[in-house]
Amino acid sequence: MPLLTLPNPGALALSLRAKALVFEDPRSQAILDRIRQLSPSDATLLVTGETGTGKELVARHIHALSHRRGRPFVAVNCGAWSESLVESELFGHEKGAFTGATTSKAGWFEAADGGTLFLDEIGDLSLPLQVKLLRVLQEREVVRLGSRQPIPIDVRLIAATNVDLEEAVTARKFREDLFYRLNVATLSLPPLRERPGDILPLARYFIDLYARRLGAAPAALTAEAAARLLEHPWPGNIRELENAIHHALLVCKGSQIVAADLRLTVLQPKAASSAPPSERGTPAASQVRPTPQAASLEGALLALFEQNLPNLHEQIEETIIRTAYRYCDRNQLQTARLLGISRNIVRARLAQFGELARYRASRGGVPRAAFEAGEPRST
């Protein structure tokens, strides 16, 4: 069974990325054939798919099959950096280029020279940065912040996104010229629910992985549990399946995983964006099953409406973002993904509400740990 995994997946427990990918389902086998076709080329590649479908795994495999194998592979999450830092991280900077730049630093393009640069969530880049990225792709050189000296680069770019860039272009949130520059070769990863032949092989892989990590003997799925896995829509894709198996191994009794051991979400997958609006329905009807929690929320909102409070929308928005931020252990990127908005919006609202200042004060002015910023990963 063809199996792709990340290097040292155990060190990435906080990531939303898929840590394994198999190609048992016919649709996955077609993807593997497509990967083999695209790997020898140096053409820029755009990989699309929902979060957790394995976009980085595909990018790593393409690099491993290419003539650039053995050279650097640098993976970067564009949505994990603040607007003020991402330009420096992408293109590098010279000493004194800005306050705090005490030394010169190479950017991600230079770090990946001779190899492959994987830019995930490229749709989160601001329009000014999109212009600069386009120039780098056209000229095949970077200019560090604070410098006028261009530095030639030899990098294959693989970009990935979980949003529809064509819609973003129409909405003027993404540059049309950059879209066509990225869209030289494309690879679309279907969600896990559309490749059911991969579900049980992945489940067995994660059972073996977490059984070793927990120091226990591998457990077997009962027929009922296996059927439950196959019926679930997997809105969180491979990462959700991994979490479900991990939880099942923690609570199962004996050497069998039964259906009751699987903790599966009630969220439904997003409706296809190609469906006409009349067929999509409302978000509440098409994406979430009615629950007691939803009824309680509706009742709380009705009670607030009856009070005719001033600035009610702002109060509700603040409560939602504050609560989500604390639920995500004050991780801005996770909060943005949970709410389905950009990290820049989350950060701006938190600053507006004073949440960031309060958090820094509670830590004696010490900034958030580096993992929230999202350090670039390279091999």
Reported as type and span, the H/E element at residue 188 is strand 185-188
Nearest in space to 47 (alpha carbons), one of 123, 106, 112, 105: 123
Predicted pLDDT of residue 8: 57
Give yes or no for residue 318 having a pLDDT over 80: yes
Which tokens hold the place of 369?
């740990």
Same-domain pairing of 214 and 185: no
Q: pLDDT for 254-300, tens place per residue? A: 889 999 999 886 655 554 444 443 344 434 433 444 455 555 677 67
Which tokens hold the place of 24?
């048992």
Same-domain pairing of 84 and 157: yes
Predicted pLDDT of residue 275: 42
Same-domain pairing of 103 and 179: yes
Q: pLDDT for 112-127, tens place per residue? A: 999 999 999 999 888 9
Q: Kindly report the CATH number assigned to the domain that includes residue 340.
A: 1.10.10.60
Q: pLDDT for 180-219, tens place per residue? A: 999 999 999 999 999 999 999 999 999 999 888 888 888 8
Give yes or no for residue 136 having a pLDDT over 70: yes
Number of domains in the chain: 3
> Would residue 367 count as lying in a domain?
yes
Helices (H) then strands (E): counts for the chain:
18, 12
Which tokens hold the place of 70?
């053995």
Backbone angles phi, psi at 142, to 5 degrees: -120, 155
Domain limit, last residue, from 190, 221, 240: 190
Same-domain pairing of 156 and 75: yes
Strand ranges inside 32-125, DSSP E: 45-48, 73-77, 116-120
The pTM for the full model equals 0.67
Same-domain pairing of 219 and 152: no
233 exposure class (CB count in 10 Å sphere: 0-12, 13-18, 19+): middle
Same-domain pairing of 154 and 220: no
Same-domain pairing of 50 and 101: yes
Give yes or no for residue 42 having a pLDDT over 90: yes
> Would residue 12 count as lying in a domain?
no
Q: How many beta carbons lie within 10 A of that of residue 8, not counting itself?
A: 9
Give yes or no for residue 39 having a pLDDT over 90: yes
β-partners of residue 267 are 288
Predicted pLDDT of residue 371: 35
Q: What gap in Å lies between CA 357 and CA 339, rounded to an integer?
A: 22
Same-domain pairing of 122 and 142: yes
Measured in whole angstroms, how far is the alpha carbon of residue 88 from the centre of its chain?
Answer: 21
Same-domain pairing of 60 and 185: yes
Spatial contact of 77 and 121, defined as CB atoms under 8 Å apart: yes
Cα 200-202-205 angle, rounded to 5 deg: 110
Nearest in space to 79 (alpha carbons), one of 340, 355, 349, 360: 340
Which tokens hold the place of 100?
């705090």
Predicted pLDDT of residue 7: 65
163 is in which domain, residue-wise? 39-190
Same-domain pairing of 205 and 144: no
